[in-house]
């Protein structure tokens, strides 16, 4: 089954404790992206990757890092989480970065709480 | 910059009622427009899309028409079911080459039996 898999689904942590949210897709997609979803704000892009070893900042990259060492994986790293990063996070992928022809496929989300 | 505005929710309807969720956008050029749906505990799924003016996207009884003159992409369904209860997001892909989607804030729909 074609899918985007995120782990964990739920995570509660404390301020400053480094964490990684994993994302993997089995569709051989070149393009991957991370979004955060906050009430009243919709989804906002954090980082994206056009292909292996090619990553760039989205609209809200502060406090996050990503890497793309393999085509299928795109982990999101919070080196020193803070309470304002409490949010619902989504990983997404598509065959190409052009939304017109390649709608995004989303994972089921990771709900992160930072205390 | 590009933006999407959706009607405030939540929207509560009885089963078989008519649904409209308003969506308007601001963008340069000719964006592609999308509706995504998020069922409880799940990720977003593409519901329908339209890539040029006057296109009508449709899926599962839902429809939306790309109206460039009014910069709108309203979602409609003639007869909603309890299973349609979800959060609906309007989104656009504009001139950016980053693959980024610009989302509205989402509208929660609750359908009661």
What distance in Å separates residue A41's CA from the closest CA in chain B?
5
Give the residue, B91 or B28, on which the prediction is more confident. B91
Q: Is B46 on the interface with A (CB under 8 A)?
A: yes
pLDDT tens digit sequence for A4-45: 999 999 999 999 999 999 999 999 999 999 999 998 888 999
Neighbours of A45 (CB within 10 A): 22
pLDDT digits (tens, 9 = 90+) for B57-67: 999 999 999 99
| Interface subset of A 75-104, CB within 8 angstroms of B | 90, 92, 94, 96-100, 102-104
Average pLDDT estimate for A67-91: 97
Mean pLDDT of A100-111: 85
The answer to whether B26 contacts chain A (CB < 8 Å) is no
Any chain A CB within 8 A of the CB of B35? no
Average the pLDDT over each of A95-99, B22-26, B105-109 and give the range with the smallest value. Answer: A95-99
Q: What would the DSSP string read from start to end of B52-72?
A: STT-EEEETTEEEE-BTTTTB
3-class secondary-structure state, position B84: helix
* Contact (Cβ atoms closer than 8 angstroms) between residue A58 and residue B100: yes
Residues of A in contact with B46 (CB under 8 A): 103-104
State how far the alpha carbon of A104 is from the alpha carbons of A24, A47, A82, in Å. Answer: 14, 14, 28
Tell me, what's the pLDDT at A101?
66
Q: Which two tokens stand for residue A70?
A: 């393999």
CA end-to-end span of chain B: 41
pLDDT at A100: 61
């Amino acid at each position: 089954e074609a899918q985007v898999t995120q782990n964990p689904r739920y995570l509660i942590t404390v301020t400053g404790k480094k964490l990684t949210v994993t994302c993997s897709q089995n569709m051989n997609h070149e393009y991957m992206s991370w979004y955060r979803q906050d009430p009243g704000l919709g989804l906002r892009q954090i980082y994206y990757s056009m292909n292996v070893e090619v990553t760039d900042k989205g609209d809200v990259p502060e406090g996050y890092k990503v890497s793309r060492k393999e085509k299928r994986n795109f982990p999101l790293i919070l080196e020193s989480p803070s309470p304002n990063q409490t949010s619902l996070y989504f990983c997404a992928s598509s065959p190409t970065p052009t939304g017109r022809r390649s709608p995004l496929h989303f994972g089921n989300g990771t709900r992160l709480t930072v205390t | 910059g590009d933006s999407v505005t959706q009607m405030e929710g939540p929207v509560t309807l009885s089963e078989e009622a008519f649904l409209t969720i308003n969506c308007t956008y601001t963008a340069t050029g000719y964006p592609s427009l999308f509706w995504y749906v998020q069922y409880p505990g799940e990720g977003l799924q593409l519901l329908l899309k339209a890539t040029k003016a006057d296109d009508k996207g449709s899926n599962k009884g839902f429809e939306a028409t790309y109206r460039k003159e009014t910069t709108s992409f309203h979602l409609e369904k003639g007869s909603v079911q309890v299973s349609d209860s979800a959060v609906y997001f309007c989104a656009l892909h504009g001139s950016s080459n980053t693959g980024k989607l610009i989302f509205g804030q989402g509208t929660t729909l609750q359908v009661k039996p």
